[in-house]
C-alpha cells in the first residue's frame, strides 16, 4: 500500500556535489523521508565504492546500488548483426568475429556491455554513457518506488561552476541546471546546484 509520506531520492555518485546534495536533503526533510541511490556503471574506481559505503554509514541513509541491464539490447544487436550485416555488404569474416563476441552473452559490466553494443567508447562528441548508465536506470528506479510511496522527488547535485561550458550550456543563469521537471506517474525531478549556490536553487 502506498504511504502518504513523500520520499526524496538523492542520486549519489561518490563525489562532493552529490554528497552536498544528500546533506541538504537530510537537513530539509530528515532521515525518514530521504533515500539514496547509486548507479554503478561498472567503470568506477574502487575508491568510489569505498566512499559510497562510508557515506551510507556516516549519514545513516541507505544507498541502494543499481546497475543497467543490457541483455535485451544485446540480443537485438546480435540478431541485427546476423540478419542485416551480410545484406549491407559486411565481409563474412567480420560478421563471424562480431557474432563470436555477442554469442557469449553480456559480460555483466554495464559500461563494457554498452561499449560493445555501440561498437565504440564514449567521447566528447559521443557522450552516450551518462544517459544509458545513469539517467535511464535512475528514472526507472524512481518510478518503481512510486508504488510504495505515492510520489518521489529525484535530487541530483550538479555544480555549474565546474566548467564554463557547463554553465553556458545548461541554462547559464546559475539558478539551477534545468527547470523543475515532472517525469510522470508521480516522479518529480529536482536538479540542485547546492554545492555552489546554496539552498536557493531548490
Q: What are 56-81's pLDDT values in tens digits?
A: 999 999 999 999 999 999 999 999 99
Across the chain, mean pLDDT equals 83
Same domain assignment for residues 48 and 77: no
Q: Identify the CA nearest to 158 among candidates 187, 197, 122.
A: 197
Same domain assignment for residues 90 and 153: no
- C-alpha 109/C-alpha 169 separation (Å) is 31
Mean pLDDT across the stretch 136-162? 83
Same domain assignment for residues 75 and 54: no
| Stated pTM of the model | 0.77
| Domain-located, residue 172 | yes
| Domain-located, residue 115 | no
Give, in order, the Cα–Cα distances in Å from 104 to each of 78, 94, 97. Answer: 10, 16, 12
Same domain assignment for residues 75 and 136: no
| Domain-located, residue 112 | no
| Domain-located, residue 180 | yes
Total domains, the chain:
2
Same domain assignment for residues 56 and 145: yes
For every residue of 76-108, DSSP letters joined together read: HHHHHHHHHTGGGT--HHHHHHHHHHHTT---S
Q: Identify the CA nearest to 138 among candidates 122, 115, 157, 162.
A: 157
**Residue 148 belongs to what domain range?**
7-68+127-201
Between 198 and 72, whose confidence is greater?
72
Same domain assignment for residues 133 and 174: yes
Amino acid at each position: 500500500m502506498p504511504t502518504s509520506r513523500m520520499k526524496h531520492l538523492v542520486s549519489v555518485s561518490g563525489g562532493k556535489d552529490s554528497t552536498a546534495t544528500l546533506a541538504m536533503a537530510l537537513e530539509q526533510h530528515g532521515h525518514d523521508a530521504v533515500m539514496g541511490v547509486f548507479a554503478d556503471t561498472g567503470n568506477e574506481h574502487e575508491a568510489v565504492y569505498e566512499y559510497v559505503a562510508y557515506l551510507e554509514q556516516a549519514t545513516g541513509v541507505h544507498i541502494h546500488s543499481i546497475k543497467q541491464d543490457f541483455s535485451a539490447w544485446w540480443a537485438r544487436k546480435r540478431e541485427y548483426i546476423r540478419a542485416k550485416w551480410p545484406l549491407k555488404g559486411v565481409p563474412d569474416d567480420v560478421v563471424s568475429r562480431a557474432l563470436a563476441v555477442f554469442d557469449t552473452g553480456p559480460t555483466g559490466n554495464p559500461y563494457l556491455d554498452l561499449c560493445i553494443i555501440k561498437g565504440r567508447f564514449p567521447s566528447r562528441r559521443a557522450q552516450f554513457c551518462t544517459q544509458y548508465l545513469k539517467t535511464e536506470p535512475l528514472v526507472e528506479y524512481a518510478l518503481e518506488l512510486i508504488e510504495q510511496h505515492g510520489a518521489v522527488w529525484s535530487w541530483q547535485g550538479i555544480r555549474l561552476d565546474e566548467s564554463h561550458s557547463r554553465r553556458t550550456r545548461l541554462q547559464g543563469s546559475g539558478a539551477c541546471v534545468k527547470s523543475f521537471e515532472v517525469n510522470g506517474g508521480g516522479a518529480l525531478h529536482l536538479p540542485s546546484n547546492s554545492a555552489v549556490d546554496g539552498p536557493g536553487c531548490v
